[in-house]
Amino acid sequence: MAQEKSESATDTPLRLDPEHVFQFRCAPGVPCFTECCRDVTIVLTPYDVLRLKNALGMSSSEFLDAYSVVLSTERRLIPMVVLKMNEEDKRCPFVTRQGCTLYEDRPWPCRMFPLDMNDDATFGLITDASRCRGLREPSKQRIGDWLIEQGVPIYDEMNSLFAQITSPLRAQEPDIQNPQIRQMIFMSLYNLDRFRDFIFESSFLDRFELDQAMVEKIKRSDLELLKFSFDWIKFGIFGQKTLKVKPIPETR
């Protein structure tokens, strides 16, 4: 069994591994409860949008229109989608004094707080005990166990798949001027309901070979549809052989 390593909030090292035990608790009664949900930039991944729109019982288009700000530039092929805060108090629209109303489907940054992941897969604190009183609470837990309790693994899995697209783009942004291609990429990642319509209401299935099991998966599951969208982008942007084009019938 791995030896647990524990430090207080005042001497926590910059890089923590999953075996570290850290001191943290966030709950009603902690003096700063929900203060971290105000005046903060929360970048949403495609999986975040999937979970939030389903939790609200909304379509992708409805969610994006009501609760997001899409930040795009000419150099960015995939725009940044940010959660829209309330105009009057800059608070998250899903947070009340009692806490998060969408807690089970909260975005990845909210699940990770007060931790952030470093490039080498270690963790660091993004705040300190002077601002986050939860770091003074007596509750202690191993980081690896805490991440599982917070439901982080599925988010990490989907973020890793998303990174297979975003990382190559950061290294060398392709010169794509066609706005329709940019719109198609955004739709396939963030507007899954429209992407599903595109697959089943266009000639898509006539042009690509998909077995019936995959067709049923992407018809019924947003999660499988999002995974498929990653393969679709790899095929269209990077030329990877993630999809198979049907042969063109010979004409006589």
Question: Is position 9 within any domain?
Answer: yes
- Is residue 249's pLDDT more than 80? no
Question: Is position 89 within any domain?
Answer: yes
Element (DSSP H or E) covering residue 160 = helix 152-171
Tokens of 249: 């019938």
Across the range 217-223, mean pLDDT stands at: 97
At 46, is the pLDDT very low, low, confident or very high (cuts 50, 70, 90)?
very high
Percent of the chain with pLDDT over 90: 70
Question: Is position 45 within any domain?
Answer: yes
Element (DSSP H or E) covering residue 159 = helix 152-171
Give the lowest-confidence range in 22-36, 56-70, 188-202: 22-36
Q: Is the peptide bond before 114 cis (omega within 30 degrees of 0)?
A: yes
Question: Is position 60 within any domain?
Answer: yes
pLDDT in tens, 114-134: 999 888 889 999 998 889 999
How far apart are the C-alpha atoms of 63 and 10, rounded to whole Å? 40
How far apart are the C-alpha atoms of 249 and 252, rounded to whole Å? 10
pLDDT in tens, 131-153: 999 999 999 999 999 999 999 99
At 2, is the pLDDT very low, low, confident or very high (cuts 50, 70, 90)?
very low
SS3 19: coil
Bridge partners of 74, per DSSP, are none
Per-residue model confidence (pLDDT) at position 6: 44
Question: Is position 168 within any domain?
Answer: no
SS3 175: coil
How far apart are the C-alpha atoms of 246 and 189, rounded to whole Å? 24
- Is residue 8's pLDDT more than 50? no
- Is residue 110's pLDDT more than 80? yes
Tokens of 3: 């030896």
**Mean per-residue pLDDT of the chain:** 89
Residues 6+ apart with CB under 8 A from 23: 6, 8, 9, 135, 136, 137, 138, 139, 140
- Going 197 to 198 to 202 to 206, the CA torsion angle's sign is negative
Q: 188 and 234 in contact (C-beta within 8 Å)?
A: no
Per-residue model confidence (pLDDT) at position 172: 65
Strands 43-44 and 80-83, how do they pair? antiparallel
Question: Is position 157 within any domain?
Answer: no
The count of domains in the chain is 1
What residue numbers bound the domain in which 63 lies? 5-152
Question: Is position 72 within any domain?
Answer: yes
Angle between helices 192-201 and 60-67 (to 10 degrees): 150
Question: Is position 223 within any domain?
Answer: no
